[in-house]
Chains A and B, each alone.
Chain A
Amino acid sequence: AQSVTQPDIHITVSEGASLELRCNYSYGATPYLFWYVQSPGQGLQLLLKYFSGDTLVQGIKGFEAEFKRSQSSFNLRKPSVHWSDAAEYFCAVGVDSSYKLIFGSGTRLLVRP
């Protein structure tokens, strides 16, 4: 069965510092990979997605993610974090044989002024 692991429950960074949120997946073939962000009391907003092709994908709000097949990872990065980036970030996996998205448990990002 497919699964998604986000090993960091909380991450705190200073405003202006770089950020990397980790995501590992378990699936036999290449999955479809997504990062969503959830601000407090809000729904899920898609940051970026990977379907195929270039393994480095750009998203909204200055985020990017890199698919590494050898490590089964899809880590999210941002070179300079803004206070407004404080939110919960979810990695998700989709596969051809299913309609559902499988979500990781999320990483809560706190930004220090």
Chain B
Amino acid sequence: EPEVTQTPSHQVTQMGQEVILRCVPISNHLYFYWYRQILGQKVEFLVSFYNNEISEKSEIFDDQFSVERPDGSNFTLKIRSTKLEDSAMYFCASSETPNGVGEQYFGPGTRLTVT
């Protein structure tokens, strides 16, 4: 069964450093998403991406965040200058059709720890 994969599984970085979280969505999916889950809290939407542009973003997704699909398979989330409060589990998801019609398949997550 096709699945979404994410690398690395755990990333430790120092405050102020840039990090790139990588995802490989399911191959025939066209819609891509990033969510985050701060420890003990609910899963929160960050951004959705379709046709090489952001289709929707949340208030959390400020200028320090960016997303990119650098090639035909990868989808990345970049955090330019990490803060302590960016420590969370970051989930990538993909869907064949837009939300509301297509279900989103989630990857296993990348745990980001900012020290």
Chain B interface residues toward A at CB < 8 A = 4, 31, 33, 35, 41-45, 48, 50, 55-56, 58, 91, 98-101, 103-109
Q: In the docked arrangement, what's the CA distance between A25 and B47, Å?
A: 22
- Chain A residues numbered 51-68 whose CB sits less than 8 Å from any CB in chain B: 51
- Chain A residues numbered 28-56 whose CB sits less than 8 Å from any CB in chain B: 32, 34, 36, 42-46, 49, 51
The residues of A that contact B106 with a CB separation of less than 8 Å are: 36, 43-46
- Among A45, A96, A98, A105, the residue within 8 A (CB) of B42 is A105
The residues of B that contact A49 with a CB separation of less than 8 Å are: 103
Q: In the docked arrangement, what's the CA distance between A90 and B45, Å?
A: 14
B34 to chain A, nearest CB (A): 10
- Chain A residues numbered 70-113 whose CB sits less than 8 Å from any CB in chain B: 90, 92, 94-96, 98-106
Residue among B45, B56, B104 with the most chain A CB within 10 A?
B104
Give the A-B pair count, Cβ closer than 8 A. 61
User: Contact between A100 and B58 (Cβ–Cβ < 8 Å)?
Assistant: yes
Interface residues on A, range: 20 to 34
The residues of A that contact B45 with a CB separation of less than 8 Å are: 100-102
The residues of B that contact A90 with a CB separation of less than 8 Å are: 42-43
The residues of B that contact A51 with a CB separation of less than 8 Å are: 101
Q: Can you list 6 A-B contacts with CB-CB less than 8 angstroms, sorted by A residue number? A: A36-B106, A43-B91, A43-B107, A43-B108, A43-B109, A100-B45
Q: In the docked arrangement, what's the CA distance between A45 and B55, Å?
A: 24
Identify the closest chain B residue to A36 (Cβ). B106
User: Contact between A99 and B31 (Cβ–Cβ < 8 Å)?
Assistant: yes
Q: In the docked arrangement, what's the CA distance between A19 and B71, Å?
A: 45
User: Contact between B42 and A94 (Cβ–Cβ < 8 Å)?
Assistant: no
B4 to chain A, nearest CB (A): 8
User: Contact between B33 and A46 (Cβ–Cβ < 8 Å)?
Assistant: no
The residues of B that contact A99 with a CB separation of less than 8 Å are: 31, 33, 48, 50, 55-56, 98-99
- Among A32, A43, A103, A105, the residue within 8 A (CB) of B99 is A32
Identify the closest chain B residue to A32 (Cβ). B100
